Amino acid sequence: MSFTMMSNAQLAAFEAMTGLNTRMQTMPIGKLVPLLSRLSAGLVRSVVSLIAALGWGHLIGFRFVAGWGQAVLFCVFSLAVGTILAIGADGLGSLTKSPESLSQALTLPTLIFGMLSCGFVPESGFPAWVRPFVRNQPISQFSFALRDMAEHGVTWQVLWVPLVWLGGLAVVFTPMAIWASVRRS
């Protein structure tokens, strides 16, 4: 989903840099059409990525143990995370207007949050001083919920924290992306 996020950011920055956003604002279309079209393209990329990941995972032995309901929840939650990240990245891209600097600016947080998460390494594999950050940051919380959905079924005790992170990110990213998309350059 981080690649979808970066792709949306690149597209938004390119459209802002080339003046396409300004041109769209002079046309008789809704103000949010460019943003919504980039987000729908990002959602298609996310669906294709998710299908590919699940397909390749199935080939190497990944199975949903908890049943179809949890598998559907896994897919919906994954796409929700990807969409929220794409909304934030789109807003940054529209504001930055520089695809080159934006790719560098998004790579560092993606690497830091990805590598300092429990998605790849259990919390016990990190030094004691960084464990609170690793355990409580959003990527770790998303991975806890997704892992439970795939293994034995997620409980509300595990799911509420990633949902709060997702809601908080949506509350911050959505107004920023809308404002960046509809403002005059």
- Res 184 pLDDT > 80: no
What is the reported pLDDT for 137?
92
Question: Is a pLDDT exceeding 90 seen at residue 170?
Answer: yes
**In the predicted model, what is the mean pLDDT of residues 80-105?**
84
CB atoms near residue 166 (< 10 Å): 20
**Cβ atoms within 10 Å of 75's Cβ, excluding its own:** 16
Give residue 74's pLDDT. 95
Q: Which tens digits make up the pLDDT trace of 134-164?
A: 999 999 999 999 999 999 889 999 999 999 9
Residue ranges of the domains in the chain? 2-182
Tokens, residue 77: 């939650």
What is the DSSP annotation of 90-126?
A: HHHHHHH--HHHHHHHHHHHHHHHHHTSTTTS-GGGS
Q: How distant, in Å, are the alpha carbons of 23, 52, 110, 141 from that of 49?
A: 31, 5, 17, 21
